[in-house]
Amino acid sequence: MLDLTTTYLGLTLKNPLVAAASPLSKKITNARRLEDAGVSAVVMYSLFEEQIVNESRALNYYLNRGTESYAEALSYFPEMDHYNIGPEEYLGLIQKLKSTLDIPVIASLNGVSTGGWINYAHRMQEAGADALELNIYYIPTDFDITSAELEQNYIDLVSEMRQQIRIPMAVKLSPYFTALPSFARHLVEAGASGLVLFNRFYQPDLDIESLEVVPSLELSTAHEMRLPLRWIAILYGRLPADLALTTGAHNAESILKAMMAGASVVQPASALLLHGIHWTKETLASIEAWMERYEYESIQKMRGSMSQQAVADPAAFERANYMKALTSFDHRILA
């Protein structure tokens, strides 16, 4: 009997396949299908700080505009009883998912400021979330902000969030940090129980016909997993935190690699959107087949087996690609 169980954020999961934050979790029926297909937990789609703030402001602006200006049209829209502006709809969905699913539900909160919105984390906990994934992504366009200040902001935010809740919290990061290991350690010390590597966002594109900057999001491809794979391998075993890999996991092989690098779980999103929910079932079957073929009785056994600490050549994770020609050279000789 193969043992696919893993632990992540203090939760025991039946396998390492966790549905990443994506539009799929907006619908109960999809979440149910994910569970039926075999995922061991669901990370809900992200509640965006920016979205809450902007939706609220936009609604207010458009409902106000033109009102009380002209005698025949003192307003332009009917007054609704309520709007799902703010976290209420999201919190309601947590409750529904919790009552529908047997697998853990991880809420996802996306923001950058330490404003009032962080109490949403507390409300997510009260709504029944088993854990929280905090997604922080900030583009520092201000020339006066230093990397140290930026990192400190992240750490403060994690620390403040930690004080809001008792459920475990993972932090989802971008790969663009100068000294990721040190920064990761500070985040864990501030209260992160896990790190999710890495987030992907809209990267603007340029339309050279219209000369416009256009938003663009493309789904990940399999080769993109190398980046998180490397950093998971480097971080594994050196931090008291779980690691999740979330970019480029498109097949059983990539998930096995993630486990061997040291991930507790893999969070696919693009693969599910691209191949459909049934991909989960097929992938889990492939993992089991592989494990049988290579006689791994448990996931735990392979976890971290190819991390930087575990491999014979730790420097392999430190080299840049152009040095590939020198892979046969053992630089420890020079040490």
Partner 1 sequence: MQREIVTIDANEAVAHVAYRTNEVIAIYPITPSSGMGEFADAWSAASKPNVWGTVPLVMEMQSEGGAAGAVHGALTTGSLTTTFTASQGLLLMIPNMYKIAGELIPTVFHVSARSVAAHALSIFGDHSDINAARSTGFAMLASASVQEAQDMALISQAAALESRIPFIHFFDGFRTSHEVNKIEQLSEDDMRALISDEAIVAARQRGLSPDHPVLRGTAQNPDVFFQARERVNPFYAACPQIVQDTMDHFGRQVGRSYHLFDYKGAADAENIIIIMGSGAETCDETANFLANQGEKVGVITVRLYRPFSVAHLLQTIPASVKKIAVLDRTKEPGAAGEPLYMDVVTAVNEGLADGSAPFTSAPQIIGGRYGLSSKEFTPAMVKGIFDNLKEASPKNHFTIGIQDDVSHTSLNYDPTFSIADAQTVYCVFFGLGADGTVGANKNSIKIIGEETEYGAQGYFVYDSKKSGSVTISHLRFGPGQVRAPYLIGENEANFVACHQFGFLERIDVLKYARPGGVFLLNSSHGPGEVWQHLPAEVQKAIIEKNLRFYVIDGYDVALKTGMGGRVNTIMQTCFFAISGVLPKEEAITQIKKSIQKTYGKRGETVVQQNFAAVDSTLENLHEVVVPLQVTSNLERVFVPAEAPEFVKDVLAPMLYYEGDNLPVSAMPVDGTFPTGTSQWEKRNIALEIPIWEPDLCIQCGKCVFVCPHAVIRHKVYDPALLEGAPETFKSMDAKFKELPGMKYTLQVSPEDCTGCVLCVEICPAKDKSQVGRKAINMEPQLPHRATESNNWNFFLTLPEVDRTSIQPNTVKNSQLFQPLFEFSGACSGCGETPYVKLVSQLFGDRSVIANATGCSSIYGGNLPTTPWATNKEGRGPAWSNSLFEDNAEFGLGMRLTIDKQSEYVHELLPHVAKTVGQPLIDELVSADQTNEAGIIQQRERVARLKQLLAGSSDPKVKHLVALADFLVRKSVWIIGGDGWAYDIGYGGLDHVLASGRNVNILVLDTEVYSNTGGQASKATPRAAVAKFAANGKGLPKKDLGMIAMAYGYVYVAKVAMGANDQHTLRAFLEADAYDGPSLIIAYSHCIAHGIDMRKGLEQQKLAMQSGIWPLYRYNPALIPLGQNPLSLDSKEPTISVEDYAYNETRYRMLLQSDEHRAEQLMRSAREDVRKRWELYRQMADIEYKAGQKNDDAGNGGSNA
For partner 1, give the closer residue by CB, 84 or 163: 84
Least distance in angstroms from the C-beta of 101 to partner 1: 20
Helix axes 226-235, 252-261, angle to 10 degrees: 30
Contact track, partner 1, 192-211, x by CB under 8 A? -------------------x
Restricting to residues 103-142, name those near partner 1 by CB under 8 A: 116
For partner 1, give the closer residue by CB, 83 or 329: 83
Q: Using an 8 Å Cβ cutoff, are 327 and 254 in contact?
A: no
Interacting residue with partner 1 among 2, 59, 150, 273 (CB under 8 A): 59
Least distance in angstroms from the C-beta of 22 to partner 1: 18
Phi, psi of 197 (to 5 degrees): -120, 125
Distance CA 13, CA 166 (A): 20
Nearest to 2 by CA among 283, 256, 298: 298
For partner 1, give the closer residue by CB, 70 or 294: 70
Least distance in angstroms from the C-beta of 116 to partner 1: 7
Q: CA angle, corner 45, sides to 142 and 135, nearest 5?
A: 35
What is residue 37's DSSP assignment?
H
Interacting residue with partner 1 among 10, 23, 36, 62 (CB under 8 A): 62
Least distance in angstroms from the C-beta of 145 to partner 1: 21
Nearest to 271 by CA among 206, 209, 225, 320: 225
**Span of 52-60, 125-133, 140-148, 243-251 interacting with partner 1 by CB under 8 A:** 52-60
For partner 1, give the closer residue by CB, 57 or 301: 57
Interacting residue with partner 1 among 10, 36, 57, 205 (CB under 8 A): 57
When asked if residue 95 is in the footprint of partner 1 (CB under 8 A), the reply is no
Distance CA 323, CA 54 (A): 47
Mapping DSSP to helix (H, G, I), strand (E, B) and coil, where does residue 244 land?
Answer: strand
User: How many amino acids of this chain bind partner 1 (CB under 8 A)?
Assistant: 37
For partner 1, give the closer residue by CB, 210 or 328: 210
**Span of 65-73, 136-144, 174-182, 252-260 interacting with partner 1 by CB under 8 A:** 65-73
Mapping DSSP to helix (H, G, I), strand (E, B) and coil, where does residue 295 land?
Answer: coil
Phi, psi of 106 (to 5 degrees): -105, 120
Place of tokens 């200006």: 69
Least distance in angstroms from the C-beta of 77 to partner 1: 6
When asked if residue 214 is in the footprint of partner 1 (CB under 8 A), the reply is no
Q: Using an 8 Å Cβ cutoff, are 161 and 169 in contact?
A: yes
Restricting to residues 21-50, name those near partner 1 by CB under 8 A: none
What strands lie across the sheet with 131-135, from one edge to the other? Answer: 18-19, 41-48, 105-110, 131-135, 169-173, 194-197, 242-245, 265-266
Nearest to 33 by CA among 103, 124, 133: 103
Least distance in angstroms from the C-beta of 67 to partner 1: 7
When asked if residue 64 is in the footprint of partner 1 (CB under 8 A), the reply is yes
When asked if residue 273 is in the footprint of partner 1 (CB under 8 A), the reply is no
What single letter denotes the amino acid at residue 236?
Answer: Y
Contact track, partner 1, 67-86, x by CB under 8 A? xxxxxxxxxxxxxxxxxxxx
Half-sphere exposure of 295 (CA within 13 A, CB side): 0
For partner 1, give the closer residue by CB, 94 or 196: 94
When asked if residue 215 is in the footprint of partner 1 (CB under 8 A), the reply is no
When asked if residue 323 is in the footprint of partner 1 (CB under 8 A), the reply is no
Collect all residues with Cβ–Cβ distance below 8 Å to 126 and sequence separation of at least 6: none
Q: For binding to partner 1 (CB under 8 A), which residues are involved?
A: 52-53, 55-86, 89, 116, 211
